[in-house]
Structure formats: C-alpha cells, structure tokens
C-alpha cells in the first residue's frame, strides 16, 4: 500500500482535477475571468475586452452556453459580467435566468464586447479580460488551469501577480505518478479515503438520463438508446449501453444544457468519458460498490496522469486520454491484472493517437463514442493477453514510455495541426 502522506497528496490532486462544471469549460473559464474582472471593477462594465489563446478560441467557438440557447463567447462574456460569481468557479453561470440572457443580448448588440487572439504567448490556456466603466479599469488573467488566476488589477493597483515561468506548477506540488503507482493507489487505498469518487457516477449518470428525456445536440445518445430492436444493427447490450450513456451526456453538455457534470483535468467530456463506460459496465455486470469505486479511481487517476505530460489543451482530442482511463477501469472490472491493464493502455495508444481536436461542439459526442468503443475493444483484447507490440508504431515495451510518446505527439508534434485547424475554423465564412 502507498504510504499515507503520498496517498493524501494523490487524493488532493484528484480533488483539484475532478470537479463539477456546467457547460464547456473553455467559454465557462472565460465567463469566470469576466466575473472576476467585473467584481474587481465594482460596477457593470461599459466595455469588455477579451484576449485569448488560440486553443481557448478554438474550443469556445461552436459550443452551446448553458441556459441561453446560444453558442460562442459573446453570450458567455456578457453573462459573466451580468450574473457571474467567481466563487462558483466552473459553475459560474448557474444563476443565469431568461431575463439575464435577454440583458446579455443587449450588451452584445451595444458593441461593448471585443474578442481577440493574444499574440506571442506559449501557454495554450490563457484568458485576459479587461473591464472598463466610468474611467476605471479592472484586469483579470487566467492561465495554465481553467480556474487558475495569475493576475488581478484595479487601475494601477495590482491585487494578484503570479505571472512567472513557473505559473503552472507553483500552487501545488503534484505527486510523481506512473501507471504502476496509479494502479496501486486505486486498488489498495482504504475505501473510505476514495469513496468521494462516486460523486462522478451520480453527476454524470444524471446528465445522461436528463439528456435521454430532452432533445440535445445531434441526439446521438438518445438515438442509440432508442434504436429499434428489430433492426439488430447494434442490439441492446452492455456495449450499446456504454455508447448511449456516454454520448448522451456529451450531447446535453455540448448543446448548452444547464446540467452539471463532473469534469476531469478541466474538461467535462473527459470526466464523462472517464466515468460512464465504467459505471455502465459495472451496473450491467452487477459489480460491488468497492469494485466501482476502485475502477472509477483507476480511470480518473489514469487520465490525470496522462494529462500531466500532455497539458490542459492540445491538438489531440481529450477523449483519447479519457477513454484510455475508462479502458483501464473496464479491464479492472473484467478481473484484469496490472499487466492486462498495461495491455489495454498500449492497445489504446496504438489505435487512437492522432485524433484531432477541432473545438468543442455537439459532434464531440461522435468522438466520445469512437473513444469508448476503442476502450471496450482494448479491454477485451487485454483480457485475452493480446497487446500491440513494440515493433508496431509508437508503442514501447514500457507502458509509461508509450504514454510519453502519445503526449509528445499531442503536445509537440501536432502544434502545426492545431494552427491549421484554427485557421480553417476561423476562415470558413470567408471561403
């Protein structure tokens, strides 16, 4: 068993990274930053200027904003100023009302909001908001993490300044992880210390079930769940249950439903993908509460571990990482050993590496379905002791080196892809 001081570090890490969120985390983080700047200003802004990194822009352009029936940054920024409360963190817009949305539309129409690309920054997660009114100006900056404020100022008075080269790592010492340690933590930690992970099951399953009752996004989850049995294309089984629940929660979230989900590493879709395949497999196969807790812990902590080297935002679709976590959780529930769990990871990396992120949007439900399909296949192969070998592609004999190969491709090798994707997205209307 891992020593208690290190267990406590890992538990603190999970609690930082697995948190509730309403709406896509990129526009919501922008709304959070606007709320902080507005609170600092102390009055309703007359002008709001947002300077954002390319990855924030990419992930905020096509996604629904909760409770508005609208997509994109302008309404998120307007509501952040009008009703946002920074103390709510990634649930910053939960007090939104139809009246506030109408007021937000007026603010947008008044041309008070400007949005631009922040030039010459390396950080992929960067949000800079300036609010002005009556000759006063307040500025707030979020960087590195979706809720990580690094700068706050009112006029010439600097209230917070953590803008250093170590910004991303200075708030908390992260425990050093590898897959073996992730597995040992998940499978040996006293149950009462990790029981809190069941909240991911409660929130994300509820989001899927709400989605089944509504009409959200492309309705992929609802369609999969209601497919006529006589068609027998997929049938009603654990595999289709996993696909329908996972995609349904994504359908609702990407369409802007006012439904909270439990996120992972700053992404609601990652939280959904790390949770629901594990939960559905466990329920369909009558697994015990202890098995569910340990499988969910294994899944979520695997995602956190991989994201440590990949980064918050990248050109690599986050469902690749999150589905790798759920494949580990499913393999564990199938009775898999540590070796078989490493096989599942290797199989995932061999298959899904290279799936691009082209922004948050309703069709993300399709990508999540692709990811969790591969998660199930990888687990099945792993249980048969089938593993992609080190002579194939980027796979290494050492599973942790394979993970590094994956994250190097996502964080370094695909940078030009990221730029091209954003260029295509921002110039479609001009073609």
- Among 413, 313, 354, which Cα is nearest to 57's? 313
For the cut 90, the answer to whether the pLDDT of residue 225 exceeds it is: no
Categorize the per-residue pLDDT at 227 as very low, low, confident or very high, splitting at 50, 70 and 90.
low
CA 255, 256, 257, 263 torsion-angle sign: positive
Categorize the per-residue pLDDT at 428 as very low, low, confident or very high, splitting at 50, 70 and 90.
confident
Give 332's contacts (C-beta < 8 A, 6+ positions apart): 186, 187, 291, 294, 295, 298, 341
How confident is the model at residue 92, as a pLDDT? 94
For the cut 60, the answer to whether the pLDDT of residue 430 exceeds it is: no
Separation of CA 300 from chain center = 11
Instruction: Please provide the average confidence, as pLDDT, over all residues in the chain.
Output: 92
Average pLDDT over residues 42-68: 91
pLDDT in tens, 127-175: 999 999 999 999 999 998 899 999 999 999 999 999 875 445 545 578 9
How confident is the model at residue 429, as a pLDDT? 55
Average pLDDT over residues 354-361: 85
How confident is the model at residue 170, as a pLDDT? 46
Average pLDDT over residues 242-268: 92
pLDDT in tens, 290-344: 999 999 999 999 999 999 999 888 888 888 889 999 999 999 999 999 999 999 9
The pTM for the full model equals: 0.90
Euclidean distance between CA atoms 58 and 49, whole angstroms: 18
| Contact between 306 and 407 (Cβ < 8 Å) | yes
Categorize the per-residue pLDDT at 39 as very low, low, confident or very high, splitting at 50, 70 and 90.
very high
Give 299's contacts (C-beta < 8 A, 6+ positions apart): 274, 275, 278, 325, 326, 328, 329
For the cut 50, the answer to whether the pLDDT of residue 230 exceeds it is: no
């Amino acid at each position: 068993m891992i020593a208690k001081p290190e267990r406590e570090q890992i538990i603190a890490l999970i609690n930082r990274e697995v948190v509730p969120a309403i709406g896509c985390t990129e526009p919501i983080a922008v709304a959070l930053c606007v709320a902080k700047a507005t609170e600092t200003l102390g009055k309703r802004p007359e002008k709001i200027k947002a300077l954002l990194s390319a990855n924030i822009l990419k992930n905020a352009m096509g996604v629904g904003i909760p409770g508005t029936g609208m997509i994109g940054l302008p309404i998120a920024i307007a509501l952040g100023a009008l009703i946002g409360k920074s103390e709510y963190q990634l649930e910053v817009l939960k007090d939104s009302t139809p009246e506030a949305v109408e007021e937000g539309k007026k603010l947008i129409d008044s041309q008070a909001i400007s949005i631009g690309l922040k030039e010459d920054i390396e950080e992929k997660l960067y949000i800079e908001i300036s609010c002005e009114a009556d000759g006063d100006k307040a500025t707030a900056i979020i960087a590195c993490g979706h809720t990580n404020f690094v700068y706050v100022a009112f006029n010439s008075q600097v209230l917070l300044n953590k803008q250093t080269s170590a910004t991303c790592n200075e708030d908390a010492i992260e425990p050093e992880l590898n897959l073996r340690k992730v597995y040992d933590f998940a499978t040996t930690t006293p149950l009462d210390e990790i029981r809190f992970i069941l909240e991911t099951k409660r929130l994300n399953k509820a989001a899927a079930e709400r989605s089944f009752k509504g009409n959200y996004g492309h309705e992929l989850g609802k369609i999969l769940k209601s497919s006529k049995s006589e068609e027998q294309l997929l049938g009603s089984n654990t595999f289709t249950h996993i696909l329908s629940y996972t995609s349904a929660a994504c359908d609702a979230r990407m369409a802007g439903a006012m439904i909270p989900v439990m996120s992972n590493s700053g992404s609601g879709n990652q939280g959904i993908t790390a949770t629901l395949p594990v939960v559905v497999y466990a329920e369909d196969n009558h697994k015990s509460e202890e098995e569910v807790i340990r499988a969910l812990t294994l899944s979520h902590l695997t995602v956190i571990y991989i994201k440590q080297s990949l980064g918050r935002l990248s050109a690599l679709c986050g469902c690749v990482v999150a589905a790798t976590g759920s494949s580990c959780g499913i393999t564990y529930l199938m009775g898999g050993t540590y070796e078989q769990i490493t096989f599942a990871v290797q199989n995932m990396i061999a298959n899904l590496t290279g799936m691009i992120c082209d922004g948050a949007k309703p069709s993300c439900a399709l990508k999540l379905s692709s990811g969790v399909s591969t998660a199930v296949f990888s687990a099945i192969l792993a249980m048969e002791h089938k593993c992609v070998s080190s002579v194939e592609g980027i796979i290494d004999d050492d599973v942790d080196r394979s993970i590094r190969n994956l994250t190097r491709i996502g964080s370094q090798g695909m940078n030009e892809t990221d730029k091209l994707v954003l260029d295509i997205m921002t110039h479609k209307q001009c073609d």
